[in-house]
Amino acid sequence: DGFTAAQLFGQGTTYTYDDVIFLPGHIDFGAHEVDLSSHLTRTLKLATPIVSSPMDKVTEAEMAITMAMMGGMGFLHYNMTAEEQVQQAKRVKQHVPGFVTRPATLAPQSTIADFESLKATRDVRGVCITEDGQPGSRLLGVVTSRDTDFLNDRLTPLSEVMTRDLDTASESASVEQVLEQLKKSKRKLLPVVSSQGQLVRVATKATFLEEQRAPRRAATSVDSAGRLLLGAAVGTRADDRARVDALRAADAVDAVILDSSQGDSTYQLDMLAYLKKAHPELQVICGNVVTGRQARSLIDGGADALRVGMGSGSICTTQEVCAVGRGQATAVYQVSRMANARGVPTIADGGIQNSGHIVKALSLGASTVMCGSLLAGTTEAPGEYFMVDGVRVKAYRGMGSLEAMAKGSEARYHSDTQNLKIAQGVSGTVRDKGSIRNQIPFLAQAVRQGFQDMGVRSVSGAHAALKQGAVMLEARSSAAQAEGNIHDMHSFNKVRW
C-alpha cells in the first residue's frame, strides 16, 4: 500500500505538507512513550524539537527564555545593533528560572491610565515603580490592581497609590530563599533589589507556581554550565564577524544561524570558514537551502546543521517575486536525505501551521522545526497586543517586508540598498494565542500521537524507517485535502494552534 518517500518525491512534482499524507502503521506502545528528543545541530540536542524563528516579531529574550524552558530553543533576530543583541543574549544566559528578568516598570508620575494600558498590552498583573520608570533604577514602590480597583480618576499619579512599604529580597539571597520569602509574603510579586536599592529582577507568584509545575514540562534546554541554550541569527557581512565575536566574547550564544533566503553563496561559505576557525566550539547553522546540491556545498564547508525552506513561510513572497524555491515537503525530504547521510541535522523552516505539519516535517527527515507565525501573537513574542475588527492581535511580518527591511534586515535577501528595494515578504497581524507555556506542550503531545499512529517511537526511529522505505505516503488530491479538513458543519469550535 502507498509509496515510499523516494518513489513519491521522485516524480517531478513539488509537494508541500498539505499535499502529502502518511499511511498508519502498527501501534504497540503508548503516545507518552514517544521520545521527541532530537539533534538541533551536530552537538546540540533538544528535548522538544521546536525552535523559534529569528524574526523581529518572534524572538527576543523573553521568547528565547521560555522556548529553552519548554525544551526547545530560540534564535534572536538581528534587526538590532550588535550591542543590543549582546544585551538580549545576556538576559537569556543570566535568566534564573522562576524570575522575571525584565519586569514591567513605570515612573512615579505615570498614571492609573498608564498602568491600565500596560496591563492590557503586556499581560502583567503588577508593576514596579522606579525612579526613572526603567528596570535597574531605584525601586520606590509597587502597584497592583488591588491599589487601583476602586479609584475612578484615571489621571491619578501612581506615586499616590503605590505600596511603599515593600517586602524585597536581596540580590545576594539564594533562589530558594527568595521563593520561600515570596511564598510567605502572600503578595503577587517580590522585587529583588541591589544593595543600593536598584530593581534587579522580580519573583512573581505566577512564575513561581510555573516552576513548581516544571516537572510536567520537557527537560529545559541548558548548556554545560546549566544556563539556558540560546541561538542568534547574523548576516554574512564584515561587521557580522564582529557581531559573532562580541556574542562569543560575552559567552552568550551556543549556535548562530547564517541568515539568508538562499544560503548557497560564497558569502556564506567565507563566513562559515571564518567562524569555524575563530570559534571552533560554536555551532554554525547554514541556509536556507532546498536542494541536495546546495546542502552538499554547505556541508563540505563545515555546516553543523542546515535550515531548509525557501518561500514556504506564511509571510513569504519569495516564490512569487523571484520564481525560485520548492514545495516544503519535497525540500525537507531531499535536503534531509543528503544531510542525514552525512550526519548533519536539518531544521524544517517555514510553513508550519499545525502539529500535523510538525509530524510530517520530522517524518520526512528534519530533526527539528522552526516556527514563525505559529509562535507570533503569543505572550512571549515581542510587541504589544491591540484590537483589529474585535480580535486581539499582535503584529507579525516577514524579515523581507519593506517595514522590516527599513530596520536593516535587507541583507538576508542580498538586497542592494543603493537601488530599489524589492520586498520578499508581507507585514500584518496574527491573533492572540496566549502563552507558549500552554501551546508548546499541546503541540508536543499532538506530535507524539501522530508518531504513535505511524507506529514510530522516536524522531531517530522515524528517520530510520524513512531510510528503510518502511514509511508509506500518498499525495492528496484537492478533494482529499478538503475531506481531511472540517466539512459539512454549520458552526464549530476549533483550537487555533
Site string for ligand XMP, 280-309 (x = CB under 6 A): --------x--------------------x
Pattern 338-357, binding to ligand XMP, x per CB under 6 A? Answer: -----------xxxx-----
Stretches 147-155, 313-321, 432-440, 471-479: which one binds ligand XMP (CB under 6 A)? 313-321
Q: Does 261 bind ligand XMP (CB under 6 A)?
A: yes
Contact between 55 and ligand XMP per CB under 6 A: yes
316 is catalytic: yes
For the chain, how far is it from start to end, CA to CA, in angstroms?
31
Under rule CB under 6 A, residue 316 binds ligand XMP: yes
Spell out the residues 6+ positions from residue 325 whose beta carbon is closer than 8 angstroms to its own.
290, 310, 311, 312, 318, 319
How many CB atoms within 10 Å of residue 185?
Answer: 16
Q: How far is the CB of 173 from ligand XMP (least distance, A)?
A: 40
CA–CA separation, 15 and 5 (whole Å):
11
Interface size with ligand XMP, residues (CB under 6 A)? 26
Shortest Å, Cβ 359 to ligand XMP: 16
Kindly state whether residue 135 participates in binding ligand XMP, applying the rule CB under 6 A: no
Cell, residue 272: 562559515
CA distance linking residue 302 with residue 305, whole number of Å? 9
Going 16 to 18 to 23 to 28, the CA torsion angle's sign is positive
Instruction: Establish if 63 lies at the interface with ligand XMP (CB under 6 A).
Output: no
x/- contact string, 357-386, with ligand XMP (CB under 6 A)?
-------------xxxxx------------
Question: From the CB of 379, what's the least distance to ligand XMP, in Å?
Answer: 18
Rg (CA), the chain: 24
Q: What does DSSP assign to residue 434?
A: B
Residues 201, 248, 286, 316: which is the catalytic one?
316
Q: Which amino acid is at 190?
A: L
3-state SS, residue 370: strand
Q: Is 397 annotated as a binding residue?
A: yes
64 versus 104: smaller Cβ distance to ligand XMP: 64
* Burial profile 402-431: b = 16 or more Cβ within 10 angstroms, e = fewer: bbbbeebbbbbbebeeeeeeebbbbeebbe
Ligand-binding site membership of 136 (annotated): no
The residues near 174 (Cβ < 8 Å, ≥ 6 apart) are none
When asked if residue 424 is in the footprint of ligand XMP (CB under 6 A), the reply is: yes
Binding residues vs ligand XMP (CB under 6 A) = 53, 55, 261, 288, 309, 311, 313-316, 318, 349-352, 370-374, 398-401, 424-425
Return the active site residues.
316, 412
Binding site as annotated, residues: 259-261, 309-311, 313-314, 316, 349-351, 372-373, 396-400, 424
